[in-house]
């Protein structure tokens, strides 16, 4: 019985090993066959685009080959072959090993696009096949370009020409990142003015990507940025929606066009056919903006705005009749800057006012720089004085008197009556504090204010304890105070001799070795009592306080107790 079992086990082991051997031999045969067989190199991937002008959708098919092109009839299957580096014979002239190295360098971007979306199709089809019988017969041979897909597709083909089919017509289109050459020309007909475009307004299509818009025009597809979309495309759409290729304007409307629309269009507007008199009358001169900054009686910022055209200045908040064209687009842009900053209109005085403290601080610390780059800023002396300051202490006095450590903060360079409010805001993580004179102190990242905070909070000192800027505390805090003072930069420290002596002794690692118990004491002292005496004497030398503990047993010997007080005194 045992022999039969051993024989069966041995046969099973032999079968498993033979299977293992066959698997490796089969793989080796494949590798040998791969090495011996000749596969295509420098294979190209050629996309072809099909455009549905009714749905505005693009569909793309792919052909591959080196000498002769073959259509990829099953994109998920192609993805599977690339994933497994499989081999497949597409025809007599294309035996392909599916790896990136088999393709031309120029084809790699479109190959990566193909694989990305073929993988999505593969897993989508697998999911759908579980729910529907009919999807099993569907063989995806093309990619329908989505919004995100359009951005990816353009990236893979930028600077290249691709075969493009619209209805029954076929042509090559170029993928261009440059803007199309679309211009609008203004001409005069009697007392009217006409604006026309140099392209057929019905001869283009707009395709929507995720990040960009695309203009399909003649033999190219153009990627359009946001500025192009908000200017050229917007004007084209107005023409197309109104089924006209021209817009007729009178002189007043032409002036408005140059004031509002033309400044945004830049060199897209051609005016060569207009007379010099019309240009002088309708086209705005260069706009300059002057801003006069000051503070009012409530420490609010006031801004008087003047729009300047050559030698003429206009207050935009006072109705003025002018006999020249104004650049209303840039004027509105300037006023919008003030609105976004938080300025409000003081109608009675025809000026702007910034009253919110947070917004004033933001304006002074950040936004005023951008205003100075764009406009001419003129400020009064009062405005210049009330700026943002980074609080810097001038000097601190330190002395020891009557066994107390006294810190003099009267010369730190700030009104001490405001210090409590400053520290309260600092604890609340506020960015600034506005002083009584209207100027601002920057609170964040300020080591001087952190020192005052540590001094009052960590040493448990109430603001009410301050007298003329003097803080008193036990002298045993000296070493801690010294460490805090060393962290201050550019602050003059005025320390008296006693304080300096204490710090010097403490930094020399003080011991009781050199202290002796007087020989004339009328008592027999134990060792721990001697240690206690020496420790009290050491504290006394630094003018520190000490506690005489009852547990030392001194109450049992009044003479020792009295001697302690006498000697330590």
> What burial letters (b/e) apply to 550-564, b meaning 16+ CB within 10 Å?
eebebeeeeebeebb
Q: DSSP letters along 9-37, please?
A: HHHHHHHHHHHHHHHHHHHHHHHHHHHHS
DSSP annotation of 179: P
**What are the two backbone dihedrals, phi and then psi, of residue 231, each rounded to the nearest 5 degrees?**
-120, -80
**Distance from the Cα of residue 111 to its chain's centroid:** 34
> Per residue in 346-370, pLDDT tens?
999 999 999 998 898 888 888 889 9
In angstroms, the CA 488 to CA 184 distance is 66
The rounded Cα 280 to chain-centroid distance in angstroms is 45
Cα–Cα distance between 58 and 165 in angstroms, integer?
10
Q: Which residues have CB under 8 Å from 508's CB, separation 6+?
A: none
Instruction: Kindly give the parts of the chain with pLDDT less than 70.
Output: 1-8, 11-14, 16-18, 20-36, 127-139, 458-460, 462-467, 506-524, 526-528, 530-569
Look up residue 371 and give its DSSP letter.
H
CA dist 45 and 287 (Å) reads: 55
3-state secondary structure of 103: strand
What are the start-end ranges of the E strands in 181-334? 184-189, 192-197, 204-208, 213-217, 220-224, 246-249, 269-270, 287-295, 301-309, 312-314
Query: To which residue do tokens 């006498």 refer?
Result: 566
CA angle 375–228–53, rounded 5-degree value:
165
Residue 165: per-residue pLDDT? 92
Question: Cα-flanking dihedrals φ and ψ of residue 291, to 5°?
Answer: -130, 120
What DSSP string runs through 424-458? HHHHTT-SEEE-TTS-EEE-TT-HHHHHHHIIIII
Q: Considering only CA atoms, which of 484, 460, 483 is closest in space to residue 471?
A: 460
- Global pTM reads 0.59
The pLDDT of residue 35 is: 52
Confidence (pLDDT) at 337:
92
Question: CB–CB of 273/188 below 8 Å?
Answer: yes
Range list of β-strands (E), 278-366: 287-295, 301-309, 312-314, 344-346, 351-354
Cα-Cα-Cα-Cα dihedral sign, residues 407, 411, 415, 418: negative
CB proximity list for 41: less than 8 A, separation 6 or greater: 66, 102
Q: Which residue has the tokens 């930094």?
A: 507
Is residue 544 within 8 Å of residue 505, measured between CB atoms? Answer: no
The H or E element spanning position 334 is helix 328-341
Backbone angles phi, psi at 44, to 5 degrees: -100, 150
**Domain extents in the chain:** 1-33, 44-166, 178-211+220-282, 292-371, 389-506, 527-568
Structure tokens at 173: 């289109």
pLDDT of amino acid 569? 42
Tokens of 164: 């493009």
Distance CA 436, CA 242 (A): 62
**CA 13/CA 11 separation, integer angstroms:** 5
User: CA-CA distance, 223 to 140, in Å (whole number)?
Assistant: 28
Residues 567, 553: Cα–Cα separation, whole Å: 18
- The pLDDT value recorded for residue 568 is 43
- Quote the pLDDT of residue 510: 59
Tell me what pLDDT residue 556 has: 47
- Residue 171, both tokens: 């042509």
Report the distance separating Cα 496 and Cα 401, nearest Å: 10
Q: What is the pLDDT of residues 207-249, one digit of tens each?
A: 999 999 999 999 999 999 888 988 999 999 999 999 988 999 9
User: CA 112 to CA 156: how far, in whole Å?
Assistant: 8
Residue with tokens 């192009």: 228
């Amino acid at each position: 019985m045992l022999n039969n079992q051993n024989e069966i086990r041995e046969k099973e082991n032999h079968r498993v090993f033979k299977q293992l051997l066959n698997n490796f031999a089969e793989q080796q045969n494949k590798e040998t066959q791969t090495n011996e067989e000749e596969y295509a190199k420098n294979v190209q991937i050629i996309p072809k685009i099909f455009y549905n002008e009714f749905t505005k959708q693009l569909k793309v098919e792919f052909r591959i080959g080196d000498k002769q092109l073959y259509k990829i009839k099953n994109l998920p299957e192609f993805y599977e072959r690339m994933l497994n580096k499989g081999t497949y014979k597409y025809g007599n002239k294309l035996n392909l090993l599916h790896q990136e190295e088999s393709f031309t360098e120029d084809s790699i971007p479109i190959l990566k696009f193909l694989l990305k979306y073929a993988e999505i199709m593969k897993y989508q089809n697998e999911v759908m096949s579980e729910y529907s019988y009919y999807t099993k017969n569907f063989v995806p041979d093309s990619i329908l370009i989505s919004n995100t897909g359009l951005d990816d597709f353009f990236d893979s083909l930028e600077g290249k020409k691709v075969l493009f089919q619209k209805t029954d017509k076929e042509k090559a289109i170029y993928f261009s990142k440059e803007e199309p050459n679309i211009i609008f020309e203004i001409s005069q007909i009697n007392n009217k003015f006409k604006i026309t475009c140099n392209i057929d307004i019905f001869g283009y299509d707009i395709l929507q990507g995720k990040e960009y818009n695309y203009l399909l025009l003649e033999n190219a597809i153009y990627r359009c940025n946001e500025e192009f979309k908000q200017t050229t495309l917007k004007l084209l759409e107005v023409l197309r929606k109104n089924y006209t290729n021209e817009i007729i304007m009178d002189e007043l409307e032409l002036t408005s066009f140059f004031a509002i629309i033309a400044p945004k269009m830049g060199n897209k507007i051609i005016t060569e056919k207009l007379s010099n008199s019309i240009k002088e009358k309708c086209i705005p001169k260069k706009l300059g903006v002057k801003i006069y900054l000051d503070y009012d009686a409530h420490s609010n910022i006031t801004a008087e705005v003047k729009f300047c055209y050559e030698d003429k200045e206009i207050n935009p908040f006072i109705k003025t009749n002018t006999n020249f064209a104004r650049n209303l687009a840039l004027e509105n842009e300037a006023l919008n800057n003030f609105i976004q900053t938080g300025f409000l209109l003081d109608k009675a005085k025809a000026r702007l006012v910034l009253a919110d403290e947070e917004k004033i601080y933001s304006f002074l610390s950040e936004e005023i720089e951008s205003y100075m780059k764009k406009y001419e800023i003129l400020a009064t002396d009062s405005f210049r004085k009330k700026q943002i300051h980074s609080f810097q202490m001038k000097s601190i006095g330190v002395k020891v008197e009557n066994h107390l450590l006294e810190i003099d903060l009267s010369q730190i360079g700030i009104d001490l009556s405001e210090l409590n409010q400053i520290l309260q805001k600092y604890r609340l993580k506020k960015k600034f504090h506005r002083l009584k004179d209207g100027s601002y102190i920057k609170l964040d990242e300020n080591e001087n204010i952190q020192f005052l905070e540590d001094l009052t909070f960590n040493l448990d000192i109430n603001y009410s304890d301050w007298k003329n800027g003097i803080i008193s505390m036990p002298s045993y805090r000296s070493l801690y105070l010294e460490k805090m003072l060393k962290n201050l930069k550019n602050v003059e420290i005025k320390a008296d001799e006693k304080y300096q002596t204490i710090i010097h002794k403490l930094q020399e690692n003080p011991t009781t070795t050199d202290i002796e118990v007087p020989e004339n004491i009328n008592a027999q002292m134990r060792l721990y009592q001697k240690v206690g005496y020496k420790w009290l004497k050491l504290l006394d030398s630094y003018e520190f306080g000490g506690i005489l503990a009852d547990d030392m047993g001194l109450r049992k010997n009044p003479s020792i107790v009295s001697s302690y007080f006498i000697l330590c005194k």
